[in-house]
Amino acid sequence: MRAQVEYAEMMNACVKRLVLRTFEPMMFRAGQWVDFIVPELGLSGYSICNEEPQDDQIFSGSHIELAIQKTSCKISQWVHSEDCKVGSEVEVKLGGDCVLDFDLIRDQGVVFIAGGMGINPLFSMLRTMFGKKVLPRRVCFLHSAKTMDDLLFSESIAEIQKAWHDKDCFTYERFVSRSLGESPTHHSGRITKTDLENAFQFVSKGAKHITLYLCGPSPMINEIIQWAEEFKTRYEIRVQFEKWW
């Protein structure tokens, strides 16, 4: 499907945010990704980070937001070059089946765990549930990155937390692996098994089921899934995940 760049900005020194408009309607689900295709260069996959469109928003095309990190990939290099600008045309193809399921989250407990660029699909899910007012009973969002600058969408997540219908039912924890020490704004180091246990304890209050959404590097995802299996003797947990590395 053809798409055009409508807006572009740098989110930090190495991540560029693009807003694309497709030339045809595209009804995507929160959590899905697109193959981003530059015909002369090939393709690469990137998760969508905006909320699902409403039915009445897609008749003249759809907006897709992507946050793309600069890497050695040819597509990433093109995105971060002067060739990628407002008006540039690309092709996109929708994919991915780890999506937000309203039947799983409604009035239940939800834990989001994002590592690095894995924030993108989970932020899309959070924006969608908040925008459509289909809310879990409790939410715990654990967000991990190498540096504070790498905690993408941190301010937006904090704003959603402030606007949540019951502020006691939403907690947002930030983890910085290259931090020099603890801070009022974040934890120093990586997410631990104890952090996961605390998250389950928080969202389980008043909820029969817990859904755990994960996205990040494979080693991190594998470790957290192993921890979650150990906690299934105490909680009814559904694990949904997407691995990118």
**Mind giving me the DSSP string for 149-195?**
GG-TTHHHHHHHHHHSSSGGGEEEEEEETT-SS-BTTBEES---HHH
Q: State the CB neighbour count (10 A cutoff) for residue 174.
A: 19
Of 186, 166, 188, the C-alpha closest to 178 is: 188
CA distances (Å), origin 94, targets 12, 62, 128, 185: 26, 12, 18, 36
pLDDT at 107: 87
pLDDT at 56: 55
Ordered structural domains, the chain, with CATH:
2-95 (2.40.30.10), 102-243 (3.40.50.80)
SS3 155: helix
- Dihedrals φ, ψ of 34, to 5°? -125, 145
pLDDT at 180: 67
- Two tokens at 216? 């990040």
pLDDT along the chain (245 residues), means of 10: 97 97 92 96 96 67 93 97 97 95 91 96 96 92 95 96 90 88 80 97 92 95 96 95 72
pLDDT at 240: 95
What one-character DSSP code corresponds to residue 135?
-
Q: Tell me, what amino acid is at 129?
A: M
Q: Which residue has the tokens 């692996």?
A: 177
Which residues make Cβ contacts (< 8 Å) with residue 129, sequence separation at least 6? Answer: 30, 100, 102, 105, 135, 136
- Assess contact for 120 and 93: CB atoms under 8 A: no
pTM, entire model: 0.93
pLDDT at 181: 67
pLDDT at 182: 66
Residue count of the chain: 245
pLDDT at 139: 96
Of 196, 53, 8, the C-alpha closest to 115 is: 196
Measure the CA–CA gap between 189 and 182, rounded to whole angstroms: 9
